[in-house]
């Protein structure tokens, strides 16, 4: 696994620095031997899910988000075992800023961490410092979390939301907090869900995409900046013959990956995070084009606060947007990159993950606050800071540079 971004150098065994602007190999034996499948990035912590269904966490655990039954700093990945029945295997994990949702292979939902907005769905506002099964009357097939907002689909495709609803992301909003899950729409059922910080996206089996919540910057994809209190169909995609593979939402922009390898983006683009080679906001979805002779086939995407990450079928990682604190992994930290640009690392990547913010709110030096995490399952030799080539050899300067 390779990491880069804010205050990660001690964790990555790199020379002391304020941030890592290049990919650095994270080679703790517990993770190397376990083989990582998913990494959920919180604001100041991370949780990794292995192929064997085990969970590891590290970072800052002030409100129990590490799930280790204590609130402190954990500089190295530690296996989560507290309050988990023997034989339990997890198949998915996601994180908000300070809380975690995890789904078992029997579709049971566990939650822990902060609960000040009811984001754990326990019916109260009491934080939990160890995994606790919630919503025992339901079985779930899909989960998503962002900020202090949680979303889940049960086995019938019914969508449930809880947590913050200041911007209507919990549907039929009264602008407050929901500590007990509330079903969204009695008529609609969905096959996938993606939570934004203040909005929600869901898709149906017929590839219809709905969104609701805060519509600022046009991030809901309806061609305007209006907020929506109820699931609203994104008409643009009804005219496109696409099959959704994955969706990722930043603070102001959204990305959609299709089965044909194309990426569509829309919403805020002040730092080039939409990858459209400009800084104009995109009210309508627009296909992301890489200026290469041969088209690039993408297989994974991730969205940070003000940046985007994409992975090609050749294991090549691309980034764009704000370069604050080295989150783009291209060696820079002051200028934005307006279009998806490849970065240098040693290996073949299988998945990419992005953190919540391009800066660290905590003073804890060893909190992971991953602005970007790159998962490299081939694990060739470690990427050394001494091996890096000049920035210009693999990260061309954009036509225009804007302060991040």
CATH at 57:
2.130.10.30
Q: What is the pLDDT of residues 329-345, one digit of tens each?
A: 888 777 889 999 998 77
- Pick from 14-18, 112-116, 117-121, 185-189: least confident: 14-18
Q: Where are the beta strands (DSSP E) in 97-198?
A: 99-104, 109-113, 128-134, 140-146, 149-154, 159-164, 177-184, 192-195
Residues pairing with 90 in the sheet:
104
Long-range pairs for 26-30: beta carbons < 8 A, 24 or more residues apart: 26/1, 26/2, 27/382, 28/76, 28/77, 30/56, 30/76, 30/77, 30/78, 30/79
At 10, the pLDDT band (50, 70, 90 cuts) reads very low
- For residue 39, tell me if it sits in a domain: yes
Q: Which residue range is the domain that position 243 belongs to?
A: 2-382
- For residue 225, tell me if it sits in a domain: yes
pLDDT number for residue 12: 42
What is the spatial distance between Cα 4 and Cα 372, in angstroms, rounded to a whole number?
Answer: 6
At 360, the pLDDT band (50, 70, 90 cuts) reads very low
The dihedrals phi and psi of 260, each to the nearest 5 degrees, come to: -85, 10
Give the mean pLDDT of the chain.
82
What is the spatial distance between Cα 340 and Cα 331, in angstroms, rounded to a whole number?
Answer: 15
Residues pairing with 244 in the sheet:
258
- For residue 194, tell me if it sits in a domain: yes
Check residues 398 and 287 and name the one with the higher pLDDT: 287
- For residue 357, tell me if it sits in a domain: yes
pLDDT number for residue 290: 85
- For residue 336, tell me if it sits in a domain: yes
pLDDT number for residue 177: 86
Q: Note the pTM of the prediction, 2 decimals.
A: 0.84
| pLDDT surpassing 50 at residue 64 | yes
pLDDT number for residue 334: 75
Residue 338 and residue 400 in contact, taking contact as beta carbons nearer than 8 Å: yes
Neighbour tally for 84: CB within 10 Å:
21
- For residue 45, tell me if it sits in a domain: yes
| pLDDT surpassing 70 at residue 366 | no
- For residue 395, tell me if it sits in a domain: no
The structural domain count of the chain equals 1
* Exposure b/e, 356-395, CB count within 10 A at least 16 = b: bbbbbebebebbbbbbbbbbbeeeeeebeeeebeebeeeb
- The pLDDT of 349-374, averaged and rounded, is 53
- For residue 387, tell me if it sits in a domain: no
- The pLDDT of 40-64, averaged and rounded, is 93
What is the spatial distance between Cα 327 and Cα 307, in angstroms, rounded to a whole number?
Answer: 8
C-alpha closest to that of 191 among 211, 172, 207, 170? 207
Range list of H helices, 199-315: none
- Pick from 221-230, 311-320, 360-369: least confident: 360-369
Close Cβ partners of 292 (under 8 Å, ≥ 6 residues apart): none
Tell me what percent of the residues of the chain surpass a pLDDT of 70.
Answer: 80
The two beta strands, 19-25 and 149-154, are unpaired
């Amino acid at each position: 696994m390779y990491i880069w971004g804010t205050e990660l150098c001690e964790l990555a065994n790199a020379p002391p620095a304020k941030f890592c602007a290049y990919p650095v190999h994270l080679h703790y034996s517990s993770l190397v031997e376990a083989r990582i499948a998913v990494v959920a990035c919180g604001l100041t912590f991370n949780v990794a899910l292995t192929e064997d269904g085990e969970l590891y966490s590290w970072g800052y655990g002030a409100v129990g988000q590490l799930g280790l039954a204590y609130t402190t700093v954990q500089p190295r990945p530690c296996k989560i075992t507290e309050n988990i029945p023997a034989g339990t295997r997890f198949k998915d994990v996601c994180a908000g800023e300070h809380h975690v949702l995890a789904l078992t292979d029997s579709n049971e939902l566990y939650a822990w961490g902060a609960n000040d907005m009811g984001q754990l769905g326990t019916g109260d506002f009491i934080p939990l410092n160890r995994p606790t099964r919630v919503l025992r009357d339901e079985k779930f097939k899909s989960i998503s979390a962002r900020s202090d907002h949680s979303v889940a689909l049960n086995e019938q495709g019914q969508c449930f939301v809880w947590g913050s609803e200041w911007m209507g992301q919990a549907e039929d909003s009264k602008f407050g907090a929901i500590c007990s899950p509330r079903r969204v729409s009695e008529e609609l059922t969905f096959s996938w869900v993606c939570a934004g910080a203040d909005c929600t996206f869901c898709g149906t089996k017929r590839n219809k995409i709905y969104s609701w919540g805060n519509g600022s910057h046009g991030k809901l994809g309806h061609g305007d900046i209006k907020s929506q209190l109820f699931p609203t169909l994104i008409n643009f995609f009804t005219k496109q013959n696409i099959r959704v593979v994955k969706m990722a939402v930043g603070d102001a922009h959204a990305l959609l990956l299709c089965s044909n390898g194309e990426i569509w983006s829309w919403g805020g683009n002040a730092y080039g995070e939409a990858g459209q080679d400009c800084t104009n906001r995109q009210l309508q979805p627009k296909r992301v084009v890489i200026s290469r002779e041969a088209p690039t086939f993408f297989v994974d995407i991730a969205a940070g606060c003000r940046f985007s990450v994409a992975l090609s079928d050749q294991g090549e990682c691309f980034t764009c947007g704000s370069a604050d604190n080295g989150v783009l992994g291209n060696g820079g930290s002051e200028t934005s990159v307006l279009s998806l640009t490849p970065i240098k690392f040693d290996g073949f990547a299988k998945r990419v993950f992005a953190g919540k913010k391009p800066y660290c709110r905590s003073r804890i030096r060893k909190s992971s606050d991953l602005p970007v995490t790159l998962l490299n399952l081939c694990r060739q030799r470690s990427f050394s800071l001494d091996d890096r080539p000049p920035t210009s050899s693999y990260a061309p300067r954009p036509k225009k540079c804007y302060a991040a």
